[in-house]
A and B are shown apart, each in its own frame.
Chain A
Amino acid sequence: MRKNWSERVGFFFLILSGMLVIFILGVILFDIISKGSGSISWEFLSRPPQQGMTEGGIFPAILGTFLVSVITVLFAVPFGMFAAIYLHEYAQPGKMTRLIRLAIRNLSGVPSIVYGLFGVVLFVQMMRFGTSVLSAGLTLGLLTLPWTITACEEALKTVPKSYREGALALGATKWYTIRTNVLPYAIPGMMTGMILGLARAAGETAPILFTGAAFFLPHLPKSLFDQFMALPYHLYIMATQHHAIEKVRPLAYGTALVLLGLVLLLNISAIFVRYRFRRRMKR
């Protein structure tokens, strides 16, 4: 009987910890949604901040996050895709391949603020892009690159070997095989990775602090070389830097809800794409 006693107590704690994790997520979502939904309105989403950011909306921040994300994807997806194609289709096992994989794994562990430092030196100063949409987008592109590579490689792994062998046996060249018999089936999986990378980039703050995000701008960015407002940075300001913090708390909650909603929506759509893709592959 003593044995079962230890099992019961032990398992009780395991159940408790599982519940605790769900509880933590529940508290986070409940707090943000319940206190943020009051601020959400069409005005809030479509208008710029007014009266020293104590009133009005967050439209410039939404637009800024969107613009930067576009640059991020335009940079990270092609490079990530090509690197993944090399690693999965061409690379022979050896020192070089091991080194590339080691570099990718380590890149994904580099702190985001360090990417920020790198972006300041490389894009803002050396390439003279200034603090701009372009600098911030490229910095975030570098940050998401290792994730994109890994996701694209996972997608390539799901394409059965027989697809490749069939084309090669018919005399197609390697590139022709990849282009016609591998990539079309891997694209949806790559899309999933792209969306997940986008979600990550949209929520990042540290890398854009010094590469282009602005406290407040009276006008929208007109070119890639302008500064911009961004959702996560706007939330940071509303939560810590504003002169009337208590007064703007509802606006901060509203911003947090929009940001969280955006990121979760991207995550869910990635899961959806993956699900449909899996069903199609099974058929």
Chain B
Amino acid sequence: MNPFEPARGRGHELVIALAGQPNCGKSTIFNTVGGFKVNTANFAGTSVSYAETTVCFHGRTFRLIDLPGTYSISSFDLAEKVTRDFLLSGQVDVIISVADASLLSRSLEFTLQLQEMGVPMVLALNMIDEAHRKGMQFDVERFRELTGVAALEVTAVQGKGIPELFAEAIRLAEADYRPILPQYDRDVEQCLAGILGRYPAALATPNLSPRFVAIRLLEMDEHFGRLAREADPAFADFVDDQRRQLAELHGWPEAGVLASHRHAVVLDLYEQIATHRRGSSEGLRERVDAFITSPLGGLATLAVSLLAMFYSAFWLGDVISGWLEGPFARLSGAILALGAGPFESILMGLAQGVEAGAGIILPYLIPLLVLLALYEDTGFLPRLAFLLDGLLHRVGLHGKSIVPLIIGYGCNVPAIMATRNLDNWRDRMIAMLAIPFITCSARTVVILALAGKYLGAGWTAFMYLLGLAGAMLLAFALSRTKAGSLLGVIMDMPPLRRPYPGIIVKKIWLRLREFLVVAWPVIAIASVVLSVLSFYGFDRYVNAALAPLTSGVMHLPASTGIALFLGVFRKELALAILGTALGGDIGAVLSHQQILVLVVFTTLYIPCLATLAALWKEGGWKTCLASAALNLLAALAVAGLFARLALI
């Protein structure tokens, strides 16, 4: 039974924040408590903005904030800045510091930084099952004695330990129980005391203790450094001097001197609470991992899984259309029998729209979502990044860009948001313009339903490569015009993990629901509108206006104009409407070459409305317009070329 209930109404609520390093399971805990609301995956950087939910637990209402993962309080990219700003804002009543227990020695560095803030805190030792398997045991009582922070063992994917975790967090927040502030060695403490002795009143911040600010200053934090200099230049000089002396004393670089001391504290703490025994054998997992991270093995895994998706899509398509064929044939027969009028055309449009959603789109969408969920949860994607980074680097794409690009295969909108993980504007710009060339799930559906059904597996694969080639070429061209430092990738390689069926099903449902409640009604409405418009002959105007492009450039029937126009709203719409627009079965009306041209165009042309909106929001209207223009021109050029070559 789930003790967490969604809360109604808002009053004075506790604010609980989930914070931790990337890929430690914050969003999984969030989803366990708040219902499946945010996507999760086994790679760093899945969450780039914070999610919030209000939950009722044992009669107590609280707001739960899921913050993007960050490696330290010093922020680098936009996603990490979200976390830092929120934590420093003073809104948080209790922090749940989430740590990957199997990597605790590293996670503790961040936990200690959080502890320095002096806000009530609980440590969630997540993925404890994995740590136990590796032979690690933790003395949580000892940890509490040493730090004043309660540590609880949790397996978030199974929901184990989550109610206890929240009960403890709420208890601590209500008691306002604050952690023991970490103590450093004598030199650092003397240095801190010196700084606090001269701490200017003008630097007082409402939510943060002077000690926390002094520590940030010793860490050369840019934000607090600026504040200190504004408040009192002599004080800022004094801090710089102190830091320099400390660095010289220990022979460490200035920027890392405090971090090195913290590391010593963490090591000491870790030694006292952790014991290692020999873990169970990881031989099989190791061998599978070695296979997947070899070029041939990785390629084989990719090819086999894509083929499996391809064939299950056709199998499912046959099954579903087998169910629908009879009833819908009788239904349209009944509508035709009513005669021909505006009302009948509404009914006919509705029936066709509903059938297109169920019969054309669902069979291709479901296998795709299953595959995507498996890729995400097993940790296949970072391994793909490992294999492809060398190539991507050559075309000028920052290795970290691969995460947004891969997300783009699901949907371009979160992919564009995910570019927030990139460190600089140049890399973000290149990634944002390249992403719309990536064949998202909506376009994959179009590709499978047209190229897959009529042209075969070869051409289907070709369409995928075409989109990828478009993205690569564009990135290559842009990286030549804009010089930048290509320091390259740094990312965690999480262990291969077993996907949990419960979570896979919820993930698929999260995305499928979006199709059912947003896309399908849109398709049905568009189908009705088109049916009514064509009853009055209005679709002719749209088709005539687009004829120079459809029949002129691409040698397609002018009646495809309206379908391609509607495809800008949602790419599946082009497919769903095509049958209605052409007035018959696609395979009978269009030649194979025309189908090829049509798929090429749909694969490349203007990103859908939601993607354009995301581009506008993240990159400004110039980026948005540039992207639309680039894609349209590329689509017309390639489709026009294919219309003039005898390829099939």
A and B are interacting partners? no
State the A residues within 8 Å of B (CB): none
